Amino acid sequence: MSKDYAVIGKNVPKIDGREKATGAAKYAGDLKFPNMLFGKLLTSPHAHAKILSIDTSEAEKLPGVKAVITHKDVPALKYGISPARWDENIFCIDKVRFIGDKVAAVACIDEETCYKALKLIKVEYEVLPAVLDALLAMDEGAPQVHDEYPRNINTEIHQNFGDLDKALAEAYHVRNDYFVGQRTYQSPIEPHSAVSIWKDNKLTIYSSTQSPHYFQYYIAREFGLKMGDVRIIKPFVGGGFGGKLEPTGLEFAGAVLSKLTGRPVRTFYDRHEMFAHNRGRHKVYMELTTGVDKEGKILGVHANFVSDGGAYTSLGVATSYYAGGLLTLTYEFENYKFDMIRVYTNLPACGAQRGHGAPQPKYAFESHLDNIAKDLGLDPLEIRLRNARQPNTVTINDFGINSCELTACLEKAADISGWREKKGNLPKGRGIGIATGSFVSGAGYPIYRNDLPQSAAMIKVHEDGTAATLYTGAVDIGQGSDTALCQMAAEAMGYRYENMKIIAADTETTPHDFGAYSSRQTLMSGSACKQAGEEIKKQILDIASTIMSLPPDDLDCRLGIIFSKSRPTAKTITFEEAARRFFVLRGPLLGRGVYHVPRLGGTFKGAAVATSPAYSFCAQISEVQIDEETGEVDVCEVWDVHDCGQVINPMQLHGQVHGALYMGVGEAIWEEVLFDDQGKILNPNLGGYMLPTALDMPIVHSELVESFEPAGPWGVKEVGEGATNPTMGCFNNAIYDAMGVRIDSLPLTYEKVWCAMKEKREGKTESNTEV
């Protein structure tokens, strides 16, 4: 970031750092209200069953129970987050579709009574055969998860760009590979909680949410309320990663319980319930066929995927489009076919998880590309350099790319990791791998169709000018948007970060913003905040010009000092003085900003998904050490080089890279939600679900390349999700380099590595075939 800036580009202290570090910060589950009740949900113990009857009479008799509700007490209107597929009910009406599906809820005077009451609800089920395997779900005669969706097909995509058949026919080499991903779970440290207060005709919900707006819209819709009568407030949130983007039974049931009892109701998940609710990453089955010329230039690609969506849609329609849509970003090719089927199964629903849809296809493609490089005798770095996307290009599926420094990222990653010295020269058991990634800087279109701007912001300067409050709908869930947006507002105003206050993510007091997802806030919310700040500055300079008797055009304001640009010796005044005078003479000093995305993308079906005003790019290199006998993978070191445009707060940026890598490393080697043959999760806790620990993390080098994005305020673009995308493929390639074995399913566990090495020793053929 250029040195001309006073506030942005600097490591200012996090605006909420002290509160969080001292434990003063209050999360939804910490909130207490007079007379508050506790609510819990009763969920299905069967993966697929008819509900024959529900008897709540015993539960109602238990002292301390204030309300017991089932589907009879709530609207029957189906909801969901993907508009084309509203397929969930607040409570199941005639059948349950996965272990954990919502059946009833209670509100009681304390938590303990809730558990006792839940045990007293008698539900009679008729167990139905369940479909637990996505590849069998489409078979004739397979159990039907939803009657409305024959053969359990939830989403089907067939996109065709250019002439793939011709490209493959003319290719020097065509390769076909098959890879399988895994279901993972976001595992935010803060469990989901909500406090619902339905009083008179107004519903207020404090929720651990990534998007007050979508919660407000869908909750108002469900209960037939005006959006203005639903207020969603986000307290501190301990991580979301995509899992807190849609309202859950906690809000829907909590609202009804509050309405019935006339008291605030706190509903919450424990860790097991979080896993059961899930909405984690889809498991995708991925077939890739690619044709290249002699030099390794990619001519055409066919991506043929099936994904296991679980019992409901959640965000899965978008996930499915993203899975193939984003594959065209990092490498340039002109012929592309993308086929995808997302199927329903009797497992918990999958949704959006950091890198939405992209990481598993990226794992497959980056592994596939290394296979091709090997077939051609090319260095993996070289094949990537030959195909790397260039700036000011348009992908075959109509995404416009402005800034793109992928080539520079690859070169720098190679330099700082010592790729050229290491490649081919490491001792056996040690390997180095490379992969690239890219991600949207905010989805070009909202989740449900509407014409609202992406983001809006207001700034109110205190009457004596000693503080300014930024009002934004942007949602800080730990990533630090409150800090970055205050920096941006202060920069635009010519003010000081230290004097900024923020009120964010409350649908009643803050202007609209779609929330924290698709890495959108720095670019989109940032644009609105910048504009609001500029409006303040314009007004402050205007009043200052009357005080200073200088033309407003000659004035500027920096760090709260207003000065003449042409007369450096002219007397300056402070922002405070000018602001105070403004208030006295003209009333409140307010700034407003709004950000609309320009129309983006093509006209084919699904063209809207994965459009964005700007795309980040990155290259990753990782080094591993494999225990040749046990298969144990030591993830030694990772080099991540990002093109994320200009940087507002370097420390937060590198924090995002570390966090994204943490998730990527976990999903690469360790994490998987496992089920038994009845559809029950075997590891719904942090003991069994293998998140890496601090001791397991590699040494991380996070570096940047110089880049400026014209579509972003001050040239910014995304970083939060992009660094998750290359990681799994990168590690697979490093393992291949170390041991000459290719693991074709995630996670790349020690046992799979052991097994692949054993098969190689025993001379069994590699599972990946060459066409």
The residues that touch another protein, with contacts defined as CB under 8 A, are: 111-112, 115, 270, 272, 629-630, 632, 670, 674, 682-683, 686-688, 690, 692-696, 749-751, 754-755, 758
Q: Closest separation between CB of residue 83 and another protein, Å?
A: 35
3-class SS of residue 415: helix
Which letter, b or e, does each residue of 520-549 get, where b requires 16 or more Cβ atoms within 10 Å of its Cβ?
bbbbbbbbbbbbbbbbbbebbbebbbeebe
Query: What's the CA gap between 432 and 480, in Å, rounded?
Result: 33
- Rounded to whole angstroms, the Cα distance separating 131 from 153 reads 13
**122-127 and 49-55: which strand pairing?**
antiparallel
Question: Which residue type does 208 have?
Answer: S
How would you class 710 by CB atoms within 10 Å of its CB: exposed for 0-12, middle for 13-18, buried for 19 or more? exposed
Chain centroid to CA 551: 47
Burial state string for 392-420 with b = 16 or more CB within 10 A and e = fewer than 16: eeebbbbbbbbbbbbbbbbbbbbeebebe
CB of 49 to another protein, least distance (A): 20
Nearest CB to another protein, comparing residues 437 and 692: 692
Strands (E), 21-64: 37-43, 49-55
Q: What is the DSSP string of 127-178?
A: E------HHHHTSTTPPPS-TTSGGGEEEEEEEEES-HHHHHHH-SEEEEEE
202: tokens are 């107004």
Q: Which is nearer to another protein, 118 or 528 (CB)?
A: 118
Min separation Cβ 112 and another protein, Å: 6
- What is the rounded distance in angstroms from the CA atom of residue 614 to the CA atom of residue 404? 9
Q: Torsions phi, psi of 234, nearest 5?
A: -100, 115
Nearer to another protein among residue 692 and residue 722 (C-beta): 692
Q: Which is nearer to another protein, 108 or 137 (CB)?
A: 108
Residue among 111 and 770 whose Cβ is closer to another protein: 111
Query: Which secondary-structure segment (H or E) carries 730?
Result: helix 727-739
Q: Which of 213, 161, 119 is nearest to 398 (CA)?
A: 161
422: alpha, beta or left, given left = phi > 0 and alpha = psi -120 to 50? alpha
Tell how far CA 722 is from the center of its chain.
10
User: Least distance from C-beta 276 to another protein, angstroms?
Assistant: 12
- Give the integer Cα–Cα distance in Å for 357 and 286: 12
Least Å from the CB of residue 690 to another protein: 6
Q: Which is nearer to another protein, 378 or 669 (CB)?
A: 669
* Pair 487, 12: CB distance under 8 Å: yes
Nearer to another protein, 100 or 533 (CB): 100
Whichever of 127 and 682 has its CB closer to another protein, that residue is: 682
**572 vs 683 by CB, closer to another protein:** 683
Return the number of the residue (84 or 674) whose C-beta is nearest another protein: 674
Q: How far is the CB of 675 from another protein (least distance, A)?
A: 10
d(CA 80, CA 93): 16
- Nearest distance from residue 134's CB to another protein, in Å? 20
CB 520 within 8 A of CB 720: no
Looking at the Cβ atoms of 339 and 632, the one nearer to another protein is 632
Minimal distance, residue 271 CB to another protein, in Å: 8
Shortest Cβ 102–another protein spacing (Å) = 17
Calpha distance 355→351 (Å, rounded): 11
714 contacts 534 by C-beta, under 8 angstroms: no
Q: Taking the complex as a whole, how short is the minimal distance between the CB of residue 676 and another protein, in angstroms?
A: 9
Residue 229: how many other CB atoms lie within 10 Å: 15
Minimum CB distance to another protein smaller for 585 or for 695: 695
Q: Which is nearer to another protein, 639 or 675 (CB)?
A: 675
CB of 116 to another protein, least distance (A): 9
Cα 300 from Cα 372, distance rounded (Å): 13
Q: Identify the bridge partners of residue 361 per DSSP, sorted by sequence position.
A: none
**Chain position carrying tokens 């890279």:** 657
Least distance from C-beta 229 to another protein, angstroms? 35
- CB of 111 or CB of 464, closer to another protein: 111
Q: Could you tell me the smallest distance in angstroms from the CB atom of residue 384 to another protein? A: 31
Kindly report the CA angle at 300 between 298 and 302, in degrees rounded to 5? Answer: 125
Nearer to another protein, 517 or 754 (CB): 754
Q: Least distance to another protein from the beta carbon of 681, Å?
A: 11
Q: CA-to-CA distance for 346 and 407, rounded, in angstroms? A: 44
Nearest approach, Cβ of residue 666 and another protein (Å): 9
Angular region, 284: left φ>0, alpha ψ -120 to 50, beta rest: beta
Q: Which is nearer to another protein, 40 or 95 (CB)?
A: 40
Least distance to another protein, CB of residue 246, Å: 24
Contact 455, 212 (CB under 8 A): no
